[in-house]
């Protein structure tokens, strides 16, 4: 069986494959409310997962120890989590101090950013 370049790059060196796929979890905001539409990305792969209306997600496919899971949501700071075992805690994201959510008007509910929010 021949491995392609992409699958080798996605697998950390000397990584142990986790036997818990699919792995399920939930993304919440700082107040404990579910985050709908949060994006989860397994670093080094093209696998992207989106949370449902209850903030729940399911990671499928092979998972490896020390693989990094990036969790992002509009208006919140990004969190990087290493996959060390099959116990994925409930992920809580803090609000981004540079982001504001419009409460009223034509664009109510949209996230706006101020300052150098887009510069990294």
pLDDT in tens, 31-87: 999 999 999 999 988 889 999 999 999 988 888 888 999 999 988 899 999 988 887
Read off the pTM: 0.71
Pairwise pLDDT comparison (50 vs 112), residue with the higher score = 50
CB neighbour list of residue 65: distance below 8 Å, 6 or more residues apart: 12, 15, 16, 17, 18, 83, 84, 85
Q: Are 36 and 109 in contact (CB under 8 A)?
A: no
Please report which confidence band the pLDDT of residue 3 belongs to, taking 50, 70 and 90 as the band edges. very low
pLDDT digits (tens, 9 = 90+) for 60-69: 888 888 899 9
Q: Give residue 65's pLDDT.
A: 87
Q: Token pair of 91, please?
A: 């992920």
């Amino acid at each position: 069986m021949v491995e392609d370049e992409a699958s080798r790059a996605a697998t950390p060196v000397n990584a142990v494959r986790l036997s818990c796929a699919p792995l399920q979890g939930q993304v919440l905001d700082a107040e404990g409310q579910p985050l709908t539409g949060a994006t989860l990305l397994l670093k080094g792969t093209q696998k992207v997962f989106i949370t449902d209306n209850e903030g729940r997600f399911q990671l499928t496919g092979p998972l490896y120890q020390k693989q990094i899971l990036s969790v992002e949501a509009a208006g919140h700071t990004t969190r990087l989590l290493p996959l060390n075992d099959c116990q994925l805690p409930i992920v809580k994201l803090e609000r981004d101090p540079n982001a504001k959510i419009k409460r009223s008007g034509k664009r109510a509910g949209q996230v706006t950013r101020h300052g150098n929010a887009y510069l990294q």
